[in-house]
Protein backbone atom coordinates (compact mmCIF):
# COMPACT_ATOMS: atom_id res chain seq x y z
CA UNK A 1 0.00 0.00 0.00
CA UNK A 2 1.44 3.37 -1.06
CA UNK A 3 2.32 6.26 1.21
CA UNK A 4 -0.70 8.29 0.18
CA UNK A 5 -3.09 5.44 0.94
CA UNK A 6 -1.43 4.88 4.31
CA UNK A 7 -1.95 8.60 4.99
CA UNK A 8 -5.58 8.27 3.89
CA UNK A 9 -6.02 5.40 6.33
CA UNK A 10 -4.66 7.52 9.18
CA UNK A 11 -6.91 10.42 8.23
CA UNK A 12 -9.90 8.08 8.26
CA UNK A 13 -9.33 7.60 11.98
CA UNK A 14 -9.61 11.35 12.71
CA UNK A 15 -12.73 12.79 14.26
CA UNK A 16 -12.51 16.47 13.35
CA UNK A 17 -12.85 18.07 9.91
CA UNK A 18 -10.37 20.86 10.67
CA UNK A 19 -7.72 18.31 11.70
CA UNK A 20 -8.45 16.26 8.60
CA UNK A 21 -8.05 19.29 6.34
CA UNK A 22 -4.73 20.22 7.97
CA UNK A 23 -3.47 16.66 7.45
CA UNK A 24 -4.66 16.66 3.84
CA UNK A 25 -2.90 19.94 3.06
CA UNK A 26 0.32 18.73 4.67
CA UNK A 27 0.20 15.38 2.90
CA UNK A 28 -0.56 16.78 -0.53
CA UNK A 29 1.92 19.63 -0.08
CA UNK A 30 4.66 17.05 0.33
CA UNK A 31 3.54 15.56 -2.99
CA UNK A 32 4.01 18.87 -4.82
CA UNK A 33 0.49 20.31 -4.67
CA UNK A 34 0.84 23.92 -3.57
CA UNK A 35 -2.87 24.67 -3.81
CA UNK A 36 -5.68 22.35 -2.76
CA UNK A 37 -9.41 22.90 -3.23
CA UNK A 38 -12.19 20.66 -1.97
CA UNK A 39 -15.74 21.38 -3.10
CA UNK A 40 -18.90 19.60 -2.02
CA UNK A 41 -22.40 20.41 -3.22
CA UNK A 42 -25.96 19.21 -3.04
CA UNK A 43 -27.55 18.27 -6.36
CA UNK A 44 -29.21 21.68 -6.78
CA UNK A 45 -26.03 23.59 -5.84
CA UNK A 46 -27.83 25.46 -3.09
CA UNK A 47 -25.38 24.20 -0.48
CA UNK A 48 -21.84 24.45 -1.88
CA UNK A 49 -19.08 24.00 0.67
CA UNK A 50 -15.45 24.81 0.03
CA UNK A 51 -12.13 24.23 1.71
CA UNK A 52 -9.09 25.79 0.06
CA UNK A 53 -5.55 26.83 0.77
CA UNK A 54 -6.11 29.87 -1.48
CA UNK A 55 -9.42 31.67 -0.81
CA UNK A 56 -8.40 34.41 -3.26
CA UNK A 57 -9.20 32.10 -6.13
CA UNK A 58 -12.86 32.94 -5.53
CA UNK A 59 -12.46 36.71 -5.44
CA UNK A 60 -14.00 37.04 -8.91
CA UNK A 61 -16.43 34.12 -8.82
CA UNK A 62 -18.16 32.07 -6.16
CA UNK A 63 -17.42 28.39 -5.55
CA UNK A 64 -20.80 27.63 -7.13
CA UNK A 65 -19.46 29.14 -10.38
CA UNK A 66 -16.22 27.12 -10.33
CA UNK A 67 -15.93 25.28 -13.70
CA UNK A 68 -14.78 22.27 -11.70
CA UNK A 69 -18.32 21.60 -10.49
CA UNK A 70 -19.84 22.01 -13.95
CA UNK A 71 -17.35 20.15 -16.10
CA UNK A 72 -15.33 17.80 -13.88
CA UNK A 73 -17.86 16.35 -11.46
CA UNK A 74 -20.37 14.86 -13.90
CA UNK A 75 -18.49 11.55 -13.97
CA UNK A 76 -16.05 9.59 -11.85
CA UNK A 77 -13.09 10.26 -14.15
CA UNK A 78 -10.18 12.49 -13.03
CA UNK A 79 -9.56 15.46 -15.34
CA UNK A 80 -6.47 17.56 -16.00
CA UNK A 81 -7.10 21.19 -15.10
CA UNK A 82 -5.44 24.60 -15.09
CA UNK A 83 -4.03 26.97 -17.68
CA UNK A 84 -1.69 24.26 -19.02
CA UNK A 85 -4.72 22.23 -20.16
CA UNK A 86 -7.38 24.85 -20.85
CA UNK A 87 -6.98 24.62 -24.64
CA UNK A 88 -7.76 20.89 -24.49
CA UNK A 89 -11.38 21.67 -23.68
CA UNK A 90 -12.87 23.56 -26.59
CA UNK A 91 -16.35 23.30 -25.07
CA UNK A 92 -15.50 25.60 -22.17
CA UNK A 93 -17.40 28.91 -22.29
CA UNK A 94 -15.46 32.16 -22.04
CA UNK A 95 -16.43 32.69 -18.40
CA UNK A 96 -14.91 29.35 -17.45
CA UNK A 97 -11.76 30.07 -19.45
CA UNK A 98 -11.38 33.43 -17.73
CA UNK A 99 -11.73 31.80 -14.32
CA UNK A 100 -9.04 29.22 -15.15
CA UNK A 101 -6.61 31.73 -16.66
CA UNK A 102 -7.06 34.16 -13.76
CA UNK A 103 -6.25 31.33 -11.35
CA UNK A 104 -2.89 30.91 -13.12
CA UNK A 105 -1.75 34.16 -11.52
CA UNK A 106 -2.18 32.41 -8.14
CA UNK A 107 0.01 29.48 -9.13
CA UNK A 108 -2.68 27.30 -10.73
CA UNK A 109 -0.77 26.10 -13.78
CA UNK A 110 -1.49 22.36 -13.97
CA UNK A 111 -3.81 20.38 -11.76
CA UNK A 112 -5.82 17.25 -11.32
CA UNK A 113 -9.56 17.39 -10.68
CA UNK A 114 -10.78 14.29 -8.85
CA UNK A 115 -14.55 13.77 -8.52
CA UNK A 116 -15.46 12.19 -5.20
CA UNK A 117 -18.96 10.85 -5.65
CA UNK A 118 -19.93 8.36 -2.99
CA UNK A 119 -22.59 5.71 -3.27
CA UNK A 120 -25.09 6.41 -0.50
CA UNK A 121 -24.71 10.21 -0.66
CA UNK A 122 -26.79 12.72 -2.62
CA UNK A 123 -23.92 15.21 -2.68
CA UNK A 124 -21.19 15.56 -5.30
CA UNK A 125 -17.95 17.42 -5.76
CA UNK A 126 -14.32 16.62 -5.39
CA UNK A 127 -10.76 17.80 -5.05
CA UNK A 128 -8.77 20.05 -7.35
CA UNK A 129 -5.09 19.39 -6.71
CA UNK A 130 -2.97 22.19 -8.13
CA UNK A 131 0.68 22.67 -9.02
CA UNK A 132 2.82 25.35 -10.63
CA UNK A 133 4.46 22.70 -12.84
CA UNK A 134 4.38 23.01 -16.59
CA UNK A 135 2.46 20.39 -18.52
CA UNK A 136 5.41 18.13 -19.28
CA UNK A 137 6.62 18.06 -15.67
CA UNK A 138 3.09 17.45 -14.43
CA UNK A 139 2.60 14.46 -16.70
CA UNK A 140 5.94 12.99 -15.66
CA UNK A 141 5.54 13.45 -11.92
CA UNK A 142 1.79 13.30 -11.32
CA UNK A 143 0.45 11.34 -14.28
CA UNK A 144 1.51 7.88 -13.04
CA UNK A 145 -0.05 8.50 -9.62
CA UNK A 146 -3.58 9.46 -10.62
CA UNK A 147 -5.19 6.29 -9.30
CA UNK A 148 -3.42 6.53 -5.95
CA UNK A 149 -4.42 10.19 -5.61
CA UNK A 150 -8.02 9.35 -6.48
CA UNK A 151 -8.31 6.71 -3.77
CA UNK A 152 -6.71 9.04 -1.23
CA UNK A 153 -9.23 11.78 -2.05
CA UNK A 154 -12.16 9.38 -1.93
CA UNK A 155 -11.15 8.15 1.53
CA UNK A 156 -10.72 11.70 2.82
CA UNK A 157 -13.99 12.89 1.32
CA UNK A 158 -15.92 9.99 2.79
CA UNK A 159 -14.62 10.74 6.27
CA UNK A 160 -15.51 14.41 5.90
CA UNK A 161 -19.00 13.52 4.75
CA UNK A 162 -19.46 11.12 7.65
CA UNK A 163 -18.47 13.79 10.14
CA UNK A 164 -20.36 16.59 8.44
CA UNK A 165 -23.62 14.84 7.72
CA UNK A 166 -23.94 12.17 10.34
CA UNK A 167 -23.43 9.27 7.96
CA UNK A 168 -21.56 6.32 9.30
CA UNK A 169 -22.52 2.68 9.51
CA UNK A 170 -25.35 0.83 7.82
CA UNK A 171 -26.80 -1.70 10.20
CA UNK A 172 -23.45 -2.20 11.88
CA UNK A 173 -22.08 -4.51 9.16
CA UNK A 174 -20.75 -2.14 6.52
CA UNK A 175 -20.05 1.55 6.06
CA UNK A 176 -22.93 3.51 4.64
CA UNK A 177 -20.92 5.60 2.16
CA UNK A 178 -18.98 3.62 -0.45
CA UNK A 179 -15.96 4.89 -2.38
CA UNK A 180 -16.00 2.48 -5.37
CA UNK A 181 -17.10 4.26 -8.55
CA UNK A 182 -19.84 2.82 -10.72
CA UNK A 183 -18.40 0.84 -13.65
CA UNK A 184 -20.52 -1.00 -16.20
CA UNK A 185 -18.28 -4.08 -16.21
CA UNK A 186 -18.78 -4.41 -12.45
CA UNK A 187 -22.55 -3.95 -12.60
CA UNK A 188 -23.08 -7.61 -11.76
CA UNK A 189 -21.54 -7.10 -8.33
CA UNK A 190 -23.44 -5.90 -5.30
CA UNK A 191 -22.36 -2.45 -4.02
CA UNK A 192 -20.48 -4.12 -1.16
CA UNK A 193 -18.73 -6.60 -3.44
CA UNK A 194 -17.76 -3.74 -5.70
CA UNK A 195 -16.38 -1.76 -2.75
CA UNK A 196 -14.22 -4.64 -1.53
CA UNK A 197 -12.90 -5.61 -4.96
CA UNK A 198 -12.13 -1.96 -5.76
CA UNK A 199 -9.98 -1.71 -2.63
CA UNK A 200 -8.16 -5.03 -2.81
CA UNK A 201 -7.45 -4.55 -6.51
CA UNK A 202 -5.49 -1.46 -5.53
CA UNK A 203 -3.22 -3.34 -3.20
CA UNK A 204 -5.14 -2.73 0.02
CA UNK A 205 -4.56 -5.64 2.40
CA UNK A 206 -7.53 -7.67 3.59
CA UNK A 207 -6.89 -6.41 7.11
CA UNK A 208 -6.94 -2.77 6.03
CA UNK A 209 -9.89 -3.40 3.73
CA UNK A 210 -11.80 -4.79 6.71
CA UNK A 211 -11.03 -1.64 8.69
CA UNK A 212 -11.94 0.71 5.83
CA UNK A 213 -15.25 -1.12 5.31
CA UNK A 214 -15.93 -1.68 9.03
CA UNK A 215 -16.35 -5.43 8.59
CA UNK A 216 -14.40 -8.53 9.64
CA UNK A 217 -11.56 -10.01 7.59
CA UNK A 218 -13.68 -13.13 7.21
CA UNK A 219 -16.45 -11.06 5.65
CA UNK A 220 -13.91 -9.40 3.35
CA UNK A 221 -12.81 -12.87 2.22
CA UNK A 222 -16.41 -13.85 1.50
CA UNK A 223 -17.03 -10.73 -0.59
CA UNK A 224 -13.78 -11.32 -2.50
CA UNK A 225 -14.70 -14.94 -3.22
CA UNK A 226 -18.15 -13.94 -4.46
CA UNK A 227 -16.78 -11.09 -6.59
CA UNK A 228 -14.11 -13.29 -8.17
CA UNK A 229 -16.76 -15.84 -9.13
CA UNK A 230 -19.03 -13.22 -10.71
CA UNK A 231 -16.15 -11.54 -12.56
CA UNK A 232 -14.62 -14.80 -13.74
CA UNK A 233 -11.22 -14.10 -12.19
CA UNK A 234 -9.15 -16.29 -9.91
CA UNK A 235 -6.88 -13.97 -7.93
CA UNK A 236 -6.01 -10.41 -6.95
CA UNK A 237 -3.74 -9.89 -9.97
CA UNK A 238 -6.50 -10.77 -12.43
CA UNK A 239 -8.99 -8.64 -10.50
CA UNK A 240 -6.55 -5.72 -10.49
CA UNK A 241 -6.06 -5.98 -14.25
CA UNK A 242 -9.81 -5.88 -14.79
CA UNK A 243 -10.59 -3.09 -12.35
CA UNK A 244 -7.62 -0.92 -13.34
CA UNK A 245 -8.53 -1.26 -16.99
CA UNK A 246 -11.86 0.38 -16.17
CA UNK A 247 -10.35 3.38 -14.35
214, pLDDT greater than 60? yes
pLDDT tens-place string over residues 4-37: 888 988 998 899 999 999 999 999 999 999 999 9
> Model's pTM, two decimal places?
0.89
Among 210, 160, 200, CA closest to 180:
200
191, pLDDT greater than 80? yes
Instruction: Please report which confidence band the pLDDT of residue 187 belongs to, taking 50, 70 and 90 as the band edges.
Output: confident
3-class secondary-structure state, position 201: coil
Sheet holding 48-52, edge to edge: 48-52, 35-41, 124-131, 110-115, 79-81
In the chain, where the domains are located: 3-165, 184-245
CATH of domain 184-245: 1.10.10.10
pLDDT tens-place string over residues 55-107: 999 998 899 999 988 888 877 889 999 999 999 999 999 999 999 999 999 99
User: What pLDDT is recorded for position 171?
Assistant: 43
CA Rg value for the chain: 18
Query: Cα separations (Å) of 119 from 51, 106, 115?
Result: 22, 34, 13
185, pLDDT greater than 50? yes
Measured CA to CA, the distance from residue 240 to residue 238 in angstroms comes to 5
User: What pLDDT is recorded for position 110?
Assistant: 97
Angle at Cα 141 formed by Cα 11 and Cα 13, nearest 5°? Answer: 5
User: What pLDDT is recorded for position 184?
Assistant: 76
User: What pLDDT is recorded for position 2?
Assistant: 64
Query: Helix, strand, coil: what percent of the chain each, to 5?
Result: 50, 15, 35
Strand pairing category for 79-81 and 110-115: antiparallel
CATH topology for 3-165 is Beta-Lactamase (3.30.450)
Amino acid sequence: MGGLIEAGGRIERMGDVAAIWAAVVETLGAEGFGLVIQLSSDAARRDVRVLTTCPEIYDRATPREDPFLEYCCTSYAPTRTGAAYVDDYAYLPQAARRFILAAAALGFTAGLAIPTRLEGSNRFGGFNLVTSMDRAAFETRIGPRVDELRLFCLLVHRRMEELGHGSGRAGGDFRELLVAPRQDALAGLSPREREVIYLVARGISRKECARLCDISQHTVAEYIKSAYRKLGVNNRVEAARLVMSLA
